[in-house]
Amino acid sequence: MPDSLLQQPLLAPVGLRTRWRDRRRLHRVDRLGARLARLDAVDAVLARAHDRLASGWVQDAWFTTIDDEGVQLHVGTLRAHDGERSERACLVAAVAIESLPGTITGPVAQRAIGTMWNVLHGGGVSSDWGTPPGVTAARAYDLVRWNDATDRRQTDVLALVSASRASLAHTTTAVRTELTNASA
């Protein structure tokens, strides 16, 4: 054997506790990274919905569109890809359209609806987890009723979306800090 190999110190074997601790830390980093990705996805949907609502907002319809003859139509149902070329949209339809395929049953749309509903009712961010479809539907219905109130204005709707994004930003900052600490 060459003398250089004999002079190298032997590495101490890694103990079982150390491996478990490292595995738990990496699992925590993965969970925090996934949570951060969910928060970012919800924020992106809400940003696009805000832009859509800023360019045109409607009450008592999912969205409005102009047909081939120039007639404005108020559309009361939303199907996949409907509303992509809409002129104006209500709060929930804007989220559904920006969460194509035009539904609020997807996980990102559910979390966006949940976040807005919680902010509207003074709660915290709920965009970290999905809710059962029935809960999402009830929250969406409540947001539609709020959107369609006679005293509601476009500025109120935009303020709710902005407040929801601010709430998400606060949570995102906390998760980023936690992720930084977990990675160290």
SS (H, E, C) 64-96: EEECCCCCEEEECCCCCCCCCCCCEECHHHHHH
Q: Is 83 left (phi over 0), alpha (psi -120 to 50) or beta?
A: left
How does pLDDT run across 64-95, given as a tens digit for each residue?
A: 877 777 666 666 665 545 555 677 889 999 99
Predicted confidence (pLDDT) at residue 109 exceeds the cutoff of 70: yes
Three-state SS for 57? Answer: strand
Q: How far is 58 from 67, CA to CA, in rounded Å?
A: 17
pLDDT of residue 45: 95
Q: How far apart are the first and last CA of the chain?
A: 39
Predicted confidence (pLDDT) at residue 121 exceeds the cutoff of 50: yes
